[in-house]
């Protein structure tokens, strides 16, 4: 009769059990590293968002001595049916469409052309284009107000010598929005060129060399190789432009036109500022802020979802 010794088996089972428990143990250290950032986000971002949502159901004039009066959904009805919102949305769409030229189309063209410049001249060339992005909005607005002022401004004076009279463009209902677009686009161009140049630098030149050996020419290489491999960068710039166009224009609108003339330059963010801090209608401002957050959040979610389909990677 044989007796089997099961002690080694039990030891092996216990060892494997401890290993499984060790593998199932969730590491805490990575979460501790991001905990301060999460706390700051909760205090300075998500807590105000919740308070804004709560405030949207009340009427309040921002005075601490005045009580909050329940308003139901009347604030949402008021902001959705207001003609000012309709004009602000139209202006915001105009800003987005125009800035796509300054942040995507022109940067691609400039970055591709700058590849023809070599040596130290290339660095100087790119630095000159990027410098406007470093200028603060207040300083840039002061300079452009002097350049565009009429009479006596540098730009109107020069154009008058060529028989072109633009008048006081910042006070023109039809010209003020395009002045804001040119000023902000002038600053965005450098940022777009920097991002596109970094994207082009990350493309392996062997693809273009191999295509040229097979007989492909410059336009074919650009259309079939460079632009597809540049698609993640282009999608990133599209996302930034669509989500931040209203934010980029806000300082210039506030300093140069104050939303006028006749609301011709107002965007959704400046409208929110007017409702809350000029009209002292905190409830309607909270409703507008909640709606803008939901709309831009859905747009961001859709763009992020589509980015994987629209982007092409070489791996």
pLDDT of residue 315: 59
What does the DSSP assignment read for 106-172?
HHHHHHHHHTT--THHHHHHHHHHHHHHHS-HHHHHHHHHHHH-TTT-HHHHHHHHTT-----GGG-
The answer to whether the CB of 146 falls within 8 A of the CB of 260 is no
pLDDT of residue 1: 45
Q: Where are the alpha helices (DSSP H) in the chain?
A: 7-24, 29-41, 47-55, 74-80, 83-100, 106-114, 120-134, 137-148, 154-161, 176-201, 206-213, 218-221, 227-229, 231-252, 268-273, 282-310
Query: CA–CA separation, 231 vs 200, rounded Å?
Result: 10
pLDDT of residue 288: 93
- Walk along the chain (315 residues) and give the pLDDT tens digit of each residue: 445 455 554 545 555 555 555 556 677 888 889 999 999 999 998 999 999 999 999 999 888 888 889 988 999 999 999 989 999 999 999 999 999 999 999 999 988 888 777 777 777 877 788 888 888 888 888 889 888 887 777 888 888 888 888 888 888 888 899 999 999 999 899 889 889 988 888 888 888 888 888 777 778 888 888 888 888 888 889 989 998 888 899 999 999 999 888 889 999 999 999 999 998 999 999 999 999 999 999 998 888 887 777 666 665
Query: CA–CA separation, 265 vs 288, rounded Å?
Result: 18
Report the Cα 234 to chain-centroid distance in Å.
Answer: 13
Question: Which residue bears the tokens 């691609």?
Answer: 108
pLDDT of residue 2: 46
Question: Which of 163, 140, 168 shows the shortest CA–CA distance to 251?
Answer: 140
Query: CA–CA separation, 21 vs 2, rounded Å?
Result: 35
What is the CATH architecture assignment of 82-310?
Orthogonal Bundle (1.10)
Cα–Cα distances in Å, from 189 out to 133, 138, 181, 211? 8, 18, 12, 30
| φ/ψ (deg, to 5) at 62 | 75, 0
pLDDT of residue 93: 94
Question: Tokens at residue 77, please?
Answer: 């009805």
pLDDT of residue 68: 87
Query: How far does the chain reach from its first CA to its final CA, in angstroms?
Result: 64
Residue ranges covered by each domain of the chain: 82-310
Report the Cα 289 to chain-centroid distance in Å.
Answer: 17
Query: CA–CA separation, 147 vs 256, rounded Å?
Result: 12
Contacts of 195 (CB under 8 A, 6+ apart): 107, 233, 236, 237
pLDDT of residue 95: 95
pLDDT of residue 77: 93
Cα pseudo-dihedral 131, 137, 140, 143, rounded to 10: -170
Instruction: Indicate the DSSP class of residue 85.
Output: H
């Amino acid at each position: 009769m044989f007796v089997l010794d099961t002690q080694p088996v039990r030891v092996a089972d216990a060892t494997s059990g401890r290993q499984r428990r060790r593998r199932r143990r969730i590491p805490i250290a990575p979460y501790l590293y991001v905990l301060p950032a999460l706390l700051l986000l909760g205090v300075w971002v998500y807590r105000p968002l919740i308070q804004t949502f709560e405030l949207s159901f009340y009427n309040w004039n921002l005075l601490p001595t005045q009580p909050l009066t329940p308003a139901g959904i009347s604030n949402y009805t008021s902001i959705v049916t207001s003609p000012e919102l309709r004009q602000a949305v139209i202006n915001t769409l105009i800003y987005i469409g125009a800035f796509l030229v300054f942040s995507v189309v022109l940067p691609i063209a400039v970055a591709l052309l700058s590849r023809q410049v070599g040596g130290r001249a290339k660095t100087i060339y790119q630095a000159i284009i990027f410098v406007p992005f470093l200028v603060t909005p207040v300083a840039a607005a002061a300079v452009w107000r002097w350049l565009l002022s009429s009479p006596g401004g540098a730009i109107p004076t020069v154009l008058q010598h060529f028989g072109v009279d633009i008048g006081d463009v910042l006070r023109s209902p039809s010209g003020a929005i395009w002045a804001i677009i040119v000023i902000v686009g002038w600053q965005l161009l450098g940022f777009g060129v920097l991002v596109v140049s970094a994207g082009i630098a990350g493309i392996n030149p062997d693809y273009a060399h191999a295509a040229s050996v097979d007989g492909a020419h410059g336009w074919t290489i650009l259309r079939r190789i460079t632009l597809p491999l540049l698609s993640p960068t282009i999608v990133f710039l599209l996302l930034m432009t669509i989500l931040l166009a209203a934010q980029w224009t806000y300082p210039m609108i506030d300093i140069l036109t104050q939303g006028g003339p006749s609301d011709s330059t107002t965007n959704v963010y400046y409208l929110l500022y007017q409702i809350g801090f000029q009209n002292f209608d905190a409830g309607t401002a909270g409703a507008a802020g909640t709606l803008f957050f939901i709309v831009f959040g859905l747009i961001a979610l859709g763009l992020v979802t589509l980015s994987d389909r629209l982007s092409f990677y070489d791996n």
